[in-house]
Amino acid sequence: MIGVFDSGVGGLSVVKEIFKELPQYPLIYFGDTARLPYGTKGADFVKRYSAKIIDWLLKRGAEIIVIACHTSSSWAADFLKNKFKGVPIFEMLGPAIKEVSGKKIGIIGTPGTIKSGSWEKKLLEFNPKLKIYSRACPLFVPLVEEGWINKKITREVAGEYLKEFKNRGVDNLILACTHYPMLERVIRRAVGSGVRVINPAESVARELKFFLADKEPLIGKTQFFFSDQPYNLDKISHLCLNQKIRPIIKDPF
Amino acid sequence: MIGVFDSGVGGLSVVKEIFKELPQYPLIYFGDTARLPYGTKGADFVKRYSAKIIDWLLKRGAEIIVIACHTSSSWAADFLKNKFKGVPIFEMLGPAIKEVSGKKIGIIGTPGTIKSGSWEKKLLEFNPKLKIYSRACPLFVPLVEEGWINKKITREVAGEYLKEFKNRGVDNLILACTHYPMLERVIRRAVGSGVRVINPAESVARELKFFLADKEPLIGKTQFFFSDQPYNLDKISHLCLNQKIRPIIKDPF
């Protein structure tokens, strides 16, 4: 099975892209709703719980891990790859960075992701000449969770958050939070049609498909676990997967 | 000492009112930033962690407990008063309800607080003839944490959230979340000057002062603990206490 984890329900936007590329593959999802959000937590906390979750996913039969959570991808991916040597671990940064094709790169994410500076660091390793601008957009997640996907207020918040990218002539914009692809239309409108908007979930799903191409097919049963009752799951699962999902509530930690 | 706890930094708006009424009293604050927000967690989780925190505050010398967190006050107060018999425990609902003086009462809070129905239940015990209208306003907390206290977007969000209260002729509005008093001006403007806005923190602080009037003064040193690095503490402590505070980061659980 493909093990996917996130701090909450946002990772379902990553599941959406995996299902598009690999519809026949079973998947085990863990959303750490009891401890969400990770975006405002410290690095040690994020590392500790990410490791616990991977351990648990492996015990339940996951053979491949996708860190759908951007905060965990930013702060814990290297640590986790080192700790779980031999396990294929996919994270949200690497695959998206390979798809960057501009000079001025904008990054938007949670305060934790932006503060970590990981995107900046990895983008500059990839190409030291890039100009990078980043901004935390903490209102986007609750706007999505309200279902205010295409409301005037949402367009105004997006305008406020993204105007500096527009003014600076950013040519690529990376959506470094699992919730943000659900606002993609509003975000595209705010930055203008000349800007390439990169959804890292799409990049990860493509890379995963490529990795699995010459492997034996994975087996198992798709299940969605959450460590506490998720808020507005129906709204989010409808937005991402166009269907209701049956959550299994279980806090193994 | 007065032990005050909250899921995060919002409880500092309660500390503000306590300091106004009892400036000479020492206080020990615990913000459970490692597990925030409580507003989207389940009742069992909130009870379990609230009990752990009270236990810890008592061990560190607290003699009186203030549950500054509205979600915990809503879901766990009766359970906690029962568990810690003999300890004076103040919560956010009772004192505010005694100050209600209208017929149509509006309540705004986090999804958890509103879903719990506790305010409704206690208001109707107090006066079964009251008409009660409630609404979760999940964007208010991140708006405060952005420092967007008096921005056009904030006024629009408030207008959207509060228009039904205006239309229904609500005469009292209870701010059932610790962050909301920081938006009091915008909220007052959105509901109109005829509506009495009740800040439960003020009611609790008055009750606490009354309770302490004939007691020996409490001793100790005021300290602020957080279970994880708090996000935007400087902004919030400045908004609430007009000063920076020195956080002690410690997760005892």
The pLDDT confidence band at residue A243, using thresholds 50, 70 and 90, is very high
The pLDDT confidence band at residue B133, using thresholds 50, 70 and 90, is very high
Q: What pLDDT is recorded for position B186?
A: 97
Q: Please, are residues A70 and A177 in contact by the beta-carbon 8 Å criterion? A: yes
Q: What is the tens place of the pLDDT at every residue in A27-80?
A: 999 999 988 888 777 789 999 999 999 999 999 999 999 999 998 998 899 999
Nearest CA to B157 out of B129, B180, B128, B125 is that of B180
CB contact under 8 A, B152 and A157: no
The pLDDT confidence band at residue B238, using thresholds 50, 70 and 90, is very high
pLDDT exceeds 90 at position B35: no
Q: What is the tens place of the pLDDT at every residue in B138-180?
A: 999 999 988 899 899 999 999 999 999 999 999 999 999 999 9
Q: Assess whether the previous peptide bond of B88 is cis (omega < 30° from 0).
A: no
| Whole-Å CA distances, A170 to A181, A193, B214 | 18, 12, 65
- Name the class of domain A2-92+202-249: alpha beta
| Entry field: residues in chain B | 253
Annotate A159-196 with DSSP letters as a single string.
HHHHHHHHHTT--EEEEESTTGGGGHHHHHHHH-TTSE
Long-range contacts of B87-90 (CB under 8 A, 24+ apart): B87/B54, B87/B58, B87/B63, B88/B63, B88/B64, B88/B211, B89/B54, B89/B64, B89/B65, B90/B64, B90/B65, B90/B66, B90/B204, B90/B207, B90/B208, B90/B211
Q: Is A177 tagged catalytic?
A: yes
pLDDT exceeds 80 at position B211: yes
Tell me what the pLDDT averaged over chain B comes to: 94
Within 10 Å of residue A126's Cβ, how many Cβ atoms? 14
Q: What pLDDT is recorded for position A99?
A: 93
Question: Tell me, what amino acid is at A68?
Answer: A
Arithmetic mean of pLDDT, B76-98: 96
Give the distance from CA B183 to its chain's centroid.
14
The pLDDT confidence band at residue A116, using thresholds 50, 70 and 90, is confident
Q: What pLDDT is recorded for position B42?
A: 78
pTM: 0.83
Q: What pLDDT is recorded for position B20?
A: 96
Q: What pLDDT is recorded for position B85?
A: 96
| Whole-Å CA distances, A251 to A6, A104, A160, B251 | 14, 42, 38, 19
pLDDT exceeds 80 at position B84: yes
Q: What is the tens place of the pLDDT at every residue in A218-240?
A: 989 999 999 998 888 998 999 99
Annotate B185-251 with DSSP letters as a single string.
HHHHHHH-TTSEEE-HHHHHHHHHHHHHTTSPPP----EEEESSPPTTHHHHHHHHHSS---EEE--
Q: What pLDDT is recorded for position A182?
A: 95
pLDDT exceeds 80 at position B112: no
Sequence ranges of the domains in chain B: 2-92+202-249, 94-200
Arithmetic mean of pLDDT, A96-125: 92
CB contact under 8 A, A139 and B142: yes
Q: SS3 letters for B16-68?
A: HHHHHHCCCCCEEEEECCCCCCCCCCCHHHHHHHHHHHHHHHHHCCCCEEEEC
Q: Does A35 touch chain B (CB under 8 A)?
A: yes
Structure tokens at B109: 């809070």
Q: What pLDDT is recorded for position A62?
A: 97
Q: What pLDDT is recorded for position A100?
A: 95
Arithmetic mean of pLDDT, A105-131: 92
CB contact under 8 A, B45 and A34: yes
Which has the higher per-residue pLDDT, B38 or A169? A169
Q: What pLDDT is recorded for position B91?
A: 97
Q: What pLDDT is recorded for position B111?
A: 81
B142, B228, B230: residue with CB nearest A142: B142
Same fold flag, B2-92+202-249 and B94-200 = yes
Determine the residue among A48, A148, A149, A153 to mutate to test chain B binding: the one whose Cβ has the most chain B Cβ atoms within 10 Å: A153
Q: What pLDDT is recorded for position B241?
A: 94
Arithmetic mean of pLDDT, A5-31: 96
Chain B residues closer than 8 Å to A40 by CB: 33, 36, 230-231
Percent residues over pLDDT 70 in chain A: 100
Q: Indicate the SS3 state at residue A90.
A: strand
Tell me what the pLDDT averaged over chain A comes to: 94
CB contact under 8 A, B152 and A156: yes
pLDDT exceeds 80 at position A148: yes
Q: How buried is residue B151: exposed, middle or buried, by Cβ count under 10 Å (0-12/13-18/19+)? A: middle
Determine the residue among B146, B151, B234, B250 to mutate to test chain A binding: the one whose Cβ has the most chain A Cβ atoms within 10 Å: B146
Q: What pLDDT is recorded for position B191?
A: 95
Instruction: Give the CA count within 13 Å in the CB-facing half-sphere of B163.
Output: 5
pLDDT exceeds 90 at position A197: yes
Architecture of domain A94-200: 3-Layer(aba) Sandwich (3.40)
- Worst-scoring range by mean pLDDT, A55-64, A149-158, B30-39, B164-173? B30-39
DSSP letter assigned to residue A218: P
pLDDT exceeds 90 at position B115: no
